[in-house]
Amino acid sequence: MKRLLLRPRLVKEHIIPAVLWTSLIFILFIANSVHGDIEAGRLDYSILEAPKQIFKHIFFYRHDLTMFASFFFLWAAGSLIGIYSVNKIDDELTSKMKVIDDLRALQERYNDVASTVREWIWEVDFEGRFVFASEQVRDILGYSPDEIIGKYYYDFFTEEAMSDILEVVKLKAEKRESFHSFVNANYTKDGREVILETNAIPLLDKETNTLLGYVGSDKDITDQLKARKILEASLKEKEVLLREVHHRVKNNMAVISSLLSLQSSYIDDKKYLDMFNESIDRIKSMALVHD
């Protein structure tokens, strides 16, 4: 056994471990290739069954790498000839499992946050393809996240706005600039036109400053724009009406001023003439307010 532990080449020749992990569950396959009689299956049943049961209990029932026995059993000609420690492999797998667990928990928190806001949260790669889309895209564009992922951001732009929007996006990307309240017209799944307000920041490689993509959010402002247009139209009508009122008031004051001036020509008494002239001046001053 001591000789075997001191000769790694023999370990490499006699046992080939292959590690395969899918998601967070690691499955360890041990292939014995010691001698021809092992390959032919001429091993005592109890010798093979014991480590099988231990391995099955640890990985399939406990799912706990920290409880791994940390040893490979070496078999030859039906006898236990030694053990070889694999603590390093155990530590590496445990560390990787922890990293994956942390990343998965972070992803779940990110998804939870994205699902609680009203905006559609998204991410595109450097070519403009969606790699992430929150559930709010259903309410905004009518598509499911799976239908969005893999498509380009400009696939949903209206034809009228396409060229102008792409030009702006190109300039922003070249300068690695963010988008703030960027208004753009899009088509929904059922063919309706909606106006979105986009806010996004670039994702950059810290070492090379290479643009990796953008992450941002969109909110539907179609109803707000409609309400704004209605309000603007109403204000415009009121402005026209107000100008008409001013014009009529000014004309009426001009008529009154002319009548007073005409009447004053028949007055000889200086006292009353001054009173008329003062009234005419006041009316003219009031008329200036309506210019």
For residue 124, pLDDT over 80 is answered with yes
Report how far residue 59's alpha carbon sits from residue 128's, in angstroms, rounded to the nearest whole number: 42
pLDDT value for 278: 86
pLDDT value for 86: 44
CA 74 to chain centre: 52
Q: Which two tokens stand for residue 255?
A: 């008529």
8 A C-beta contact, residue 264 and residue 234: no
Sole residue written with tokens 């204000």: 235
pLDDT value for 61: 46
Handedness of CA 207, 178, 130, 99 (dihedral sign): positive
8 A C-beta contact, residue 143 and residue 189: yes
The more confidently predicted of residues 231 and 67 is 231
Report how far residue 137's alpha carbon sits from residue 156's, in angstroms, rounded to the nearest whole number: 12
For residue 95, pLDDT over 80 is answered with no
Query: Per residue in 207-257, pLDDT tens?
Result: 888 999 999 999 999 999 888 888 888 888 888 888 888 888 888 888 888
pLDDT value for 16: 35
Residue among 40, 131, 130, 132 at smallest CA distance from 77: 40
8 A C-beta contact, residue 121 and residue 139: no
Q: Give the start-to-end residue ranges of the domains of the chain.
A: 2-107, 117-220, 233-289
For residue 8, pLDDT over 60 is answered with no
pLDDT value for 26: 37
Q: Which two tokens stand for residue 187?
A: 């088509």
pLDDT value for 154: 93
pLDDT value for 177: 94
CATH number assigned to the domain covering 117-220:
3.30.450.20
pLDDT value for 287: 76
Report how far residue 146's alpha carbon sits from residue 198's, in angstroms, rounded to the nearest whole number: 21
